[in-house]
Structure 1
């Protein structure tokens, strides 16, 4: 019997199928309470974008994020990214601002604006902090006084998570589920955290469903194409940079030679011919 290949929760299609499942919001509620750690735990959520169309799966530039509203009217956006596009901070600020601004229609009062939270799960290192989970709000830089809690942006950098430590709490359990859903450590957590067990069961169901697997492979292929394109662009940029640096080095060396020839009183035309330095450059050395 062929062993079932488990789909990766790091692929946004799978992540959204599990955490954006309106038929089992308990999974998302548990995840949000573990990440945000609110003083008053979230009791209910309304998942606002449950659909995943074919175009989104095949388009490597589409976003399969999760938008939700809590019982306290907080707006939440969750996104998982597998490749560093070197724009994550600005990207997150942009999407946060769009969600925050989008709450009001013309004529509505500002006091209607609700807390808006962005959660970014990254399969790469992004920030200078050594912590795997960083939380940002608006604060005064000298006194650290918080201006407001209406803005909150989370970055969870998966490569910074401790690898060999035991699962201590629900947050650790969810991170282990995303990183390695079939690990022995997670099996222990399933015994005490019902939502982890439910998420695992949903993942197994997706993995065994041929139609869902085809969608998964389409989405994974689209994301890998994007990663490949980014890596090729980075390599080309490095090559161009090296070539420019090489030419700059050669030019600087030629100018230094021309400078020595000028000091020796050599005719300017001979210097131009022998070094390739332009006449205007040599005249500046005179």
Structure 2
């Protein structure tokens, strides 16, 4: 029997959808998005789009959940959680955004359209997956002038959240956004609503995310989602461990081979030097001139003189 925490894991497929993807409590998603935009954009309402986004192939099946919504000002959002590393991840998010833009063109009447494009944003929350080599946990990306840094187009944006890089404790949180990220990463480990989250929106979130409040059917769906995450994590850990073991074995084999080669080379060099010294000593015993001995054995006159001592 699976052991559950008191609250849902928000980085699972079902956990994320149950909290952020339901019309009944869309105020939770609105609150999160407004904190993410830090006043650059204010959302007062949104509707969830009925259709799922195109591109659900077998390779893209590891995407936990694509949530597409449209806000009250017509802006479109794709919010997804990505559990494991994926090839062409940047390209895939760019394709998704481009698809939302191209779908805005009226079919058959593009010449009458006038390219009136609403804002499009992709928000990717990454769990056990690194977006870059930096230690930053938040990446706000837009089109800009490469030379001056001036924003070229601000109605297409990508926000990537690296939860593995967010390691702040409750005492270190300095903003409401950081509280949200703390909840996303740590809610499943908590057994009660912390005092620093004693706010109506977080109170509602914790109530909705309490496992005991789910119906029997909802619990079953969450259990499947949670098992899927654990299985993926187990596969990732096994692959990582295999990679480490293989790396150690290859390194050991290479080290042994290099050691043998270096030892053999040093042995050959030492043997050759001893032979030259022996020949030089024999020539000295015969009374040959030092310069002649030097040219014969390839040793300097100083080295030959040392052999005389």
Give distance in 2, aligned partners of 1:232 and 1:3: 23
Q: Which residue of 2 aligns with 1:82?
A: 83
1:146 to 141, 151, 155: 151
Shift of 1:102: 2.6
Shift of 1:61: 3.3
Q: Which residue of 2 aligns with 1:36?
A: 37
Give distance in 1, aligned partners of 2:50 and 2:35: 22
> Which structure's CA Rg is the greater one?
2
Q: What does 1:89-168 correspond to in 2, within 5 Å?
A: 89-107=90-108, 108=110, 109=113, 111-124=115-128, 125-158=130-163, 159-168=165-174
Q: Which residue of 2 aligns with 1:225?
A: 231
TM-score by length of 1: 0.71
Shift of 1:200: 1.2
SS in 2 for 1:211: helix
Shift of 1:33: 0.3
Shift of 1:85: 3.2
Query: Relative to 1, partners in 2 of residues 1:13 and 1:3: Cα closer, same or farther, differing over 3 Å?
Result: closer
Answer yes or no: is the 8 Å Cα contact 1:60–1:219 preserved in 2.
Answer: no
Query: Relative to 1, partners in 2 of residues 1:231 and 1:167: Cα closer, same or farther, differing over 3 Å?
Result: closer
Query: Relative to 1, partners in 2 of residues 1:103 and 1:242: Cα closer, same or farther, differing over 3 Å?
Result: farther
Q: Which residue of 2 aligns with 1:211?
A: 217
SS in 1 for 2:169: coil
The farther-off stretch of 19-28 and 180-189 is 180-189
Answer yes or no: is the 8 Å Cα contact 1:60–1:225 preserved in 2.
Answer: no
SS in 2 for 1:95: helix
2:195 to 187, 190, 194: 187
Q: CA RMSD in A?
A: 3.7
SS in 2 for 1:69: strand
**How many residues of Structure 1 are paired with residues of Structure 2 in the alignment?**
255
Query: Relative to 1, partners in 2 of residues 1:241 and 1:175: Cα closer, same or farther, differing over 3 Å?
Result: closer
Give distance in 1, aligned partners of 2:69 and 2:114: 21
Give distance in 2, aligned partners of 1:168 and 1:247: 50
Give distance in 1, aligned partners of 2:145 and 2:155: 15
Give distance in 2, aligned partners of 1:139 and 1:21: 35
Shift of 1:35: 0.8
Give distance in 2, aligned partners of 1:4 and 1:103: 43
Answer yes or no: is the 8 Å Cα contact 2:45–2:71 preserved in 1.
Answer: yes
Shift of 1:221: 1.9
Shift of 1:64: 1.6
Give distance in 2, aligned partners of 1:106 and 1:10: 37
Q: Which residue of 2 aligns with 1:73?
A: 74
Answer yes or no: is the 8 Å Cα contact 2:105–2:115 preserved in 1.
Answer: no
Answer yes or no: is the 8 Å Cα contact 1:121–1:157 preserved in 2.
Answer: yes
| Superimposed CA distance per residue, residues 197-232 of structure 1 (whole angstroms, 9 cap, x where no aligned partner) | 111111126654332121111112223333444455
Q: Which residue of 1 aligns with 2:300?
A: none
Give distance in 2, aligned partners of 1:201 and 1:50: 28
Give distance in 1, aligned partners of 2:256 and 2:149: 51
Q: Name stretches of at least 5 consecutive residues in structure 2 with no aligned partner.
A: 53-59, 269-309
